[in-house]
Amino acid sequence: MEMKEKMHNGMLYLPNDPQIVEEQVKCQERLYDFNRTRPSELAKREVLLREMLAELGENCYVEPPLHANYGGKFVHFGKNIYANYNLTLVDDTHIYVGDYTMFGPNVTVSTAGHPILPELREQAYQYNMPVRIGRNCWIGAGVIIVPGITIGDNVVIGAGSIVTKDLPSNVVAVGNPCRILREVNEYDREYYFKGRKIDASLL
């Protein structure tokens, strides 16, 4: 089995394989162009994102700079996704993000890991596990999501959290390691922030 195949099935492989490096450099060239766009060049950004990502839904906005190992080649974005500054996607294998999900600044989503055994790390071995983020999630500033994680729909993850275990739908989760704080509830239908009421006409 070639190293490129091992990238996507959780097997140990060598990321410095010449074929892999050649492909990665090409992807990063497009990412470089995206990150050098001017604020007024929104149409150019969308064209580049459609070339870069595996899938890109309608009405997505990604604020440069974006950082991605493969320039987004294995990233699947639904529609109406928003990503603030410095989103880092360690996309050595697939990252799936559902519609309407938002990323705060400085979020890291990683699919890549390295063996704990020192002898294997010395040889630069790596493994990758996909990450799945559901629909209508809000991933707060500075959140880190590690390889192999699945996050349900309508999840809010507090700023600075480190997600090391799967999260079900409709919860608020915070901390390091990230833990479920509570479910999304009726209070959230009435108030949006510290006693500030939601205008019913907005719903």
Buried b (16+ CB within 10 A) or exposed e, 166-185: ebeebbbbbeeebeeeeeee
Catalytic: which of 8, 67, 94, 114? Answer: 114
Active-site residue, 94 included: no
Residues 6+ apart with CB under 8 A from 10: 127, 128, 129
Measure Cα distances from 21 to 16, 17, 122, 128, 173 in Å.
6, 6, 19, 16, 37
Read off the DSSP letter of residue 197: E
Active site (catalytic) residues: 114
